[in-house]
């Protein structure tokens, strides 16, 4: 795997003369570009996590039937809870299982089950609710990073687009030179034009 510092180094090298537009201490600008890029990257190279909570005791304070999600949660995928072998005509059949939806509570993401699980469902399926979710990729030390080595160019491409977006917002109309994250080919255009071209290339490359 690759570390955050190594990705930042590659990003700065790829930006060519455009790198001079970012002067924050401790590479704060490039750290921001990377953190923003990770959200889109994670939808293109899905990382699936497993979350769980206790249906009896895990509810958020003052919000019945709402449960906090992991810090790297992006999107709910499917429940693991609820497996059983009962037929609808059998006495222990738990009925239709609850629907799961994401909600925002005081700027915090949570999951809610509708309707709330019944005592029969808790008895048959258990009180520990487990589920799959789309998780945000992590970039830290080489051991902590979840981005595969072959996908680093795609991540850098999205970082480059974010850098161009910020330059464009500063009304910089003069052309800048850089090398794209996938092929290393020279690019020379205004930040706004490069932003759109890089973003289009990111979505195209990520879906292939």
Q: Which letter does DSSP use for residue 178 in this model?
A: E
Q: Whole-angstrom Cα distance, residue 142 to residue 1?
A: 5
Q: Whole-angstrom Cα distance, residue 197 to residue 192?
A: 9
Residue 6 near residue 149, CB atoms below 8 Å: no
Q: Where are the domains of the chain?
A: 4-45+139-206, 48-135
The structure tokens listed for 84 are: 């059983």
Q: Which residues pair with 50 in a beta bridge?
A: 132
What pLDDT score does 187 carry? Answer: 76
Of 36, 43, 1, 47, which Cα lies nearest the Cα of 159?
Answer: 36
The structure tokens listed for 105 are: 């509570």
Per-residue pLDDT reduced to its tens digit, 12-57: 999 988 898 899 999 999 999 999 999 999 999 999 999 999 999 9
Of 28, 6, 42, which Cα lies nearest the Cα of 141?
Answer: 6
Predicted TM-score of the model (pTM) = 0.85
Per-residue pLDDT reduced to its tens digit, 143-189: 999 999 999 999 999 999 999 999 998 877 778 888 776 766 677 78
Per-residue pLDDT reduced to its tens digit, 93-150: 999 999 999 999 988 999 999 999 999 999 999 999 999 999 999 999 999 999 999 9
């Amino acid at each position: 795997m690759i570390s955050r510092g190594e990705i930042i180094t590659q990003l700065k090298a790829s930006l060519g003369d455009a790198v001079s537009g970012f002067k924050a201490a401790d590479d704060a600008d490039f750290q921001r570009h990377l953190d923003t890029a990770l959200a889109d990257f994670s939808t293109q190279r899905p990382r699936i996590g497993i979350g769980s909570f206790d249906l009896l005791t895990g509810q958020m304070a003052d919000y019945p039937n709402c449960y906090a999600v992991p810090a790297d949660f992006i999107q709910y995928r499917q429940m693991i809870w609820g497996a059983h072998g009962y037929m609808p005509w059998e006495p222990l059949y738990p009925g239709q299982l609850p629907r799961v939806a994401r909600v925002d509570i005081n700027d915090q993401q949570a999951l809610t089950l509708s309707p709330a699980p019944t005592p029969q469902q808790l008895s048959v399926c258990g009180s520990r609710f487990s589920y799959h979710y789309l998780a945000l990729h992590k970039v830290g030390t080489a051991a902590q990073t979840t981005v595969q080595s072959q996908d680093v160019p795609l991540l850098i491409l999205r970082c480059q687009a974010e850098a161009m977006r910020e330059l464009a917002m500063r009304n910089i109309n003069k052309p800048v030179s850089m090398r794209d994250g996938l092929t290393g080919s020279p690019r020379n255009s205004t930040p706004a034009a490069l932003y759109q071209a890089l973003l289009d290339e990111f979505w195209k490359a990520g879906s292939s």
